[in-house]
Amino acid sequence: KAGVTQTPRYLIKTRGQQVTLSCSPISGHRSVSWYQQTPGQGLQFLFEYFSETQRNKGNFPGRFSGRQFSNSRSEMNVSTLELGDSALYLCASSIGQGDQPQHFGDGTRLSIL
């Protein structure tokens, strides 16, 4: 069974630009969650989507947004990029109901110049 796939793996942007990251979940998984990982703050929850609906959102500004498509694939978008947005962005998928583990992709490394 294929794992969670994130594209692109690496991205370099400049301040003020916007970026879209993509995530393909494990087949059959309907929940997709996004996390930001930085050396200073560790792993922090951004938001979670289930059946194309955002079910939960973390404490990030409105510049961070996402969506989920009918095939459960998800995208996250960051607008007006700031230097502090440099991070590893991780996507995780799960069945989405009950206590089930989330399985992570290898992330997109976003660097802001």
Partner 1 sequence: GESVGLHLPTLSVQEGDNSIINCAYSNSASDYFIWYKQESGKGPQFIIDIRSNMDKRQGQRVTVLLNKTVKHLSLQIAATQPGDSAVYFCAEMGYGNKLVFGAGTILRVKS
Query: Considering the rule CB under 8 A, would residue 104 count as an interface residue with partner 1?
Result: yes
What span, in angstroms and rounded, lies between the C-alpha atoms of 13 and 68? Answer: 24
Q: Are 1 and 7 in contact (CB under 8 A)?
A: no
Annotate each residue in 2-41 with x if it binds partner 1 (CB under 8 A) or - if it does not, as one string.
--x-x------------------------x-x-x---xxx
Chain residues 42-101 in contact with partner 1, contact rule CB under 8 A: 42-45, 48, 50, 55-56, 58, 90, 92, 94, 96, 99, 101
Q: Is the dihedral of CA 91, 95, 96, 101 positive or negative?
A: negative
SS percent in the chain: helix, strand, coil, step 5? 5, 55, 45
Nearest approach, Cβ of 13 to partner 1 (angstroms)? 20
Whole-angstrom Cα Rg for the chain = 13
Binding site for partner 1 (CB under 8 A): 4, 6, 31, 33, 35, 39-45, 48, 50, 55-56, 58, 90, 92, 94, 96, 99, 101-107
